[in-house]
Structure formats: C-alpha cells, structure tokens
Amino acid sequence: MSEAASTATLSLDAARTYQRDLVPALFEPWSEILANRLELTERCEALDVGCGTGVLARAMMRRGAEVTGLDPDPAMLAVASESSEPATWAAGEADSIPWSGGRFDAVGCQFALMFVRDPGEALREMQRVLKPGGRLTVAVWDSLDSCEAIRRLVLLLEDLFGNETAGRLRRPFSMGDRGALARLCTRSGIPARIDTLRGRVRFPSLHTWIDADARGWLQLGDDEFIRLMAVAEKELDEFVTEEGTVEFPIRAHVITARKR
C-alpha cells in the first residue's frame, strides 16, 4: 500500500476505491504525523512527492502551507484534483523532480519511495529542491514480517493467483530493513534521523479491507475478488473484532532531516 502510484498505472475506478477505502483506513493517521514533523508555517511552500490521491498534501494545507503534489499516475492525480483543497497537482517522477533547486520550504514523501526507479536519486532530488534549512520527511513501511495481517493476505494471494499478484502487495514493504534504509540515506547525502513508529489499520469490515486491496490496489476482477473473499472469510477472521470491524497493527520507518 502506497500513497503513490505503482509502476502499473491505476484505473480511475481503482484510484477512487483507493481514496474511498484505503486512505481513511491506512494513510490518514500517518499524514498527520508527517505533516507535524515538517514544522510547516503559514504560506510556506511544500511539496508532496508521490502524492497519490493527496492525503499528505491535504494535511499540509490544513497547516497553512501552499502545496504542490507530484505523482506519475494520471488516475491518482485526477482523484486528487477532485478534492476542494487548492493544491497544485503535477505529473512527474520522484527521481527527476521537475523544479529548480531550493524551491520548497518543506518536502514530504509518504509511502512512495518503495515504488521509485532509483530511491537514492529520489532522496537526493528531494534534498535538492529544498531551501537551506528546509525540512524533509519520508515514510516507508517496515518489513512484511512486522505486519502479520498483511503477510497472511499476501500468502492467500500467492496460493490463489501466484507470485506476481502477491508480489504487488509485497512491494510496499520492500524497504523495511532499517539498516539498509540508514545506509541509503547516508549514500544520498542526507543526515537523517530514522524512527520506527507503530500505527493501527482500521477498516469498517473484512469485506471493505479485501475490496480495498483487491480493487483499489491489485485491480483484481470480479471473479478473482469473489474467490479471494471466500478464502479470506475463513483465513483472516482473527483480525475481525466483535463489532465486525477489522483492526491490526502496522509499523513504519519515518526519515526526518533538515537541509544544511
């Protein structure tokens, strides 16, 4: 799960499902954490790299920033632009940010770095477009083994549809090695602090969870969704509360740095 597009472009329907179901269940709490770490001030210029449907951008705007969202996926940007907040939405890649150096007071990247062609170059680009003294914060998910619920869902996908489909849900967790992440920051010239934070995922129901991942991320067809749902009702019931909602813990690594 990511707030950026994967290398496979989403359909507009999938992007809307993503915004409707995955964003409130998974991403909104983290957007508040990242926006707070950026120490935004009224009318400062902020960039949301890999903005997806704009959840971090909206959190930035609530703090008074003038925000630009950058993403390579047209469907994600189309859904982001459907919101009423006055952001600028632009198409582009994180490892070749299309602005001159020293443009922004703050740069955030929420769960997008795992999908970039060259993560190290993306970090250098984020640093490049910051003004001196500007603040950078980047979040990536911890390893798949740190989230039992999604690990189990990945195994179900592998059993039902094979490794390629399961791999699309593994990829968001591909930068979970904290030591490797620290080394990447060092090689990219970023004097970063890395914190591992705990959060919780909350869906209204098991059906909403499976539908959000199946249609809003994996873009499975109706028949595939029905097959997955039938197995999930048996194999993932332990994550369903007495009230019928779904809750489970998840962890993320959050990079914070200030440009010298």
Q: Write out pLDDT tens, residues 129-158.
A: 999 999 999 999 999 999 999 999 999 999
pLDDT at residue 202 in the model = 98
Q: Is 88 left (phi over 0), alpha (psi -120 to 50) or beta?
A: beta
Query: Would the pLDDT of 229 be above 80?
Result: yes
Nearest-angstrom CA–CA distance, 56 and 39:
14
Question: 9 pLDDT band (50/70/90 cuts)?
Answer: confident
Total count of domains within the chain: 1
Q: Is 4 part of any domain? A: no
- 169-178 pLDDT, tens per residue? 999 999 999 9
Question: What CATH number is associated with residue 157?
Answer: 3.40.50.150
Q: Which residue has the tokens 């979040």?
A: 139
CA angle centred on 77, ends 207 and 26, rounded to 5°: 35
Nearest to 246 by CA among 170, 164, 149, 158: 149
Q: How far is CA 95 from CA 4, 75, 134, 178, 184, in A?
A: 13, 20, 19, 21, 14
Nearest-angstrom CA–CA distance, 128 and 122:
10
Work out the average pLDDT over 19-48: 97
Work out the average pLDDT over 107-115: 98
Q: How far is CA 142 from CA 61, 107, 117, 160, in A?
A: 27, 21, 19, 25
Work out the average pLDDT over 14-34: 96
- Alpha helices by DSSP H, the chain: 12-17, 28-37, 55-62, 74-81, 119-128, 148-161, 163-170, 178-187, 206-216, 222-235
Measured on CA atoms in the order 226, 143, 106, 34, is the torsion positive or negative? positive
Contact criterion met (CB below 8 Å) for 141 and 251: yes
pLDDT at residue 85 in the model = 79
pLDDT at residue 8 in the model = 60
Predicted structure pTM score: 0.94
Q: Which two tokens stand for residue 206?
A: 């098991």
Percent of the chain with pLDDT over 90: 95
Nearest-angstrom CA–CA distance, 62 and 60:
5
Nearest-angstrom CA–CA distance, 250 and 29:
12
Radius of gyration for the chain, computed over Cα atoms and rounded to the nearest angstrom: 18
Work out the average pLDDT over 85-106: 96
- 38-91 pLDDT, tens per residue? 999 999 999 999 999 999 999 999 999 999 999 999 999 999 999 877 899 999
Nearest-angstrom CA–CA distance, 74 and 224:
25
Average pLDDT, the chain: 95
Q: Is 209 part of any domain? A: yes
Q: Which two tokens stand for residue 125?
A: 């680009």
Query: Would the pLDDT of 4 be above 50?
Result: no
Q: Is 5 part of any domain? A: no
H or E element at residue 189:
none
Range of the domain at 50: 12-258
Nearest-angstrom CA–CA distance, 35 and 58:
9
Nearest-angstrom CA–CA distance, 193 and 129:
19
pLDDT at residue 83 in the model = 84
Q: Which two tokens stand for residue 38?
A: 């950026």
Q: Is 7 part of any domain? A: no
Contact criterion met (CB below 8 Å) for 229 and 207: yes
Q: Is 2 part of any domain? A: no
Q: Is 3 part of any domain? A: no
